[in-house]
Amino acid sequence: MTLKLGIVGCGGMGFRHMQGISEVMRHSNIAKLEAICDLHEEAANHVADEAEKNNGYRPKIYTDFDSMISESGIDILDIVTDTKTHHVFAIKAMNKGISVLTEKPMGITLKACRKMKDVQEKNNVKLAVAENYRRDPMNRLVKALIDEGAIGDLQMVIDVSVSGGGYLMHGTGWRAKKSLAGSLILEQGVHTSDLILYFMGKAKTIYAKTGVLNPIRKTSGMLNEQLKKFYGHRVEDQLDNNESQIEIDAEDTAISVIEFENGSIGQMTMSSAASGYGFGNESIHGSKGTIKLPGSRNGRSPIILRDPKNPGEPPIEITGDKLLDLVPKWELDEVTSLYFDNKKRLTSYKYDFEEIDRKLIAIEIHDLAKSIIDDSSPEVDSEVGMDALALAYGALESGESGETVNLKDIISGVTNSYQSIIDEEFNI
């Protein structure tokens, strides 16, 4: 069975999803690219040209979403538009019996997500969120190490990502606007949140200080050669092309403290406002040692550090294939393994960035297609997607109210002051 997939949104990430579905088609017959849609025909044409080079045929092009879902006969809608339309397109498609893969964040607010979940359940279709970082085989290995007790009982996670440069993220106008869910805390924070929850389990509360510390941003210049390949063709319709800088109102900094349901604690700090200095740390600490996380899409092995036998000696380091002794039964799941040369017990890998990127997106698409065929749940279903969004919004809600917030209250809508302005604006 080959499921037909349509992509809506042919910007930076839409281009990458086209590469992802092309990667699926190199490895499997489970899904094929049928149609693509963007408001800007030139952006859709660029993505279609590349798809034709990859797959030997041209997908149908639409500039009107409603026409695509009523005429193209797709089984899966892949939503890669900017965040404000995720729920609109998902709900329309699911009401027509079409399953949905939506880019992160799942929806623009938790209220939008709750509506998406209700429609998904009513129509008995699948709804999955494209969280690519957790699909990295190195993050799968970290998860297995934690679950096998390689660092003992979980105590804390320290995730810090600080950068400067003064650019508007990817030069995209919507990322300047709080009301378009454009803040760094949602854009980057939802990835970080998903990974933290994947490793640590559910979170109970979050407290944060947030702010817009560097409001004046350059509108261009952020794109390096790699990003230009993804974003070079996109048509910007929210920035004034004559302006070389813009004032953003979307938070660029959050310093948060998290309490998890299992009693462990964590720090999640992110900022793109640290002029002249950038650094990061991702580590998980347990009663028997620490895991230094490898980061995503670089193929590096995780590192476990344990206290030395004697004081003054360096910590004992376990990395590479030696990690496998700590997870004797661990194997990559079938779908992840398929895209990584069918290897089952990977402890590092080497591919160029574009190839890694499309492999992780291929895994997201394949996982959803398989869940449709098997009638099972996709890995990142609405509950998982909402948990990650709630943690990121938790930082913003707490930053606004000055109070510790409960994750359950964010998911249910009891705490929604920050988001309510967005809900009102978009009539959600």
Ligand X SMILES: NC(=O)c1ccc[n+]([C@@H]2O[C@H](COP(=O)([O-])OP(=O)(O)OC[C@H]3O[C@@H](n4cnc5c(N)ncnc54)[C@H](O)[C@@H]3O)[C@@H](O)[C@H]2O)c1
Residues in touch with ligand X (CB under 6 A): 8-14, 37-40, 43, 65, 80-83, 85, 103-104, 130, 132, 170, 172, 187, 234
The alpha carbon dihedral of 148, 152, 154, 160 has a sign of negative
Q: Of 59, 127, 60, 129, nearest to 95 (Cα)?
A: 127
**Between 372 and 392, whose beta carbon lies closer to ligand X?**
392
Using CA atoms, how far apart are residues 208 and 201, in angstroms rounded to an integer? 20
Minimum CB separation of residue 192 from ligand X in Å reads: 12
Write down the least CB distance from residue 35 to ligand X, Å.
Answer: 12
Element at 397 (helix H, strand E): helix 382-401
> Three-state DSSP class for 403?
coil
Cβ 338 to ligand X shortest distance, Å: 20
The answer to whether the beta carbons of residues 340 and 359 sit under 8 Å apart is yes
Given the complex with ligand X, which of 13 and 273 has the nearer CB atom? 13
Residue (75 or 364) nearer to ligand X, CB: 364
Cα distance between residue 57 and residue 135, in whole Å: 28
- Closest to ligand X by CB, 162 or 239: 239
Distance between CA 163 and CA 323 in Å, rounded? 31
Closer to ligand X by CB, 50 or 259: give it: 50
Q: Which residue is nearest to ligand X (CB)?
A: 11
First to last CA, the chain: 36
The CB-of-319 to ligand X minimum distance in angstroms stands at 26
Q: How far is the CB of 399 from ligand X (least distance, A)?
A: 20
Pick the closest to residue 129 from 371, 356, 344, 427 (CA basis): 371
Give the residue among 121, 109, 179 at the shortest CA–CA distance from 428.
109
Q: Among residues 304 and 390, whose Cβ is nearest to ligand X?
A: 390
> Least distance in Å: CB of 75 to ligand X?
19
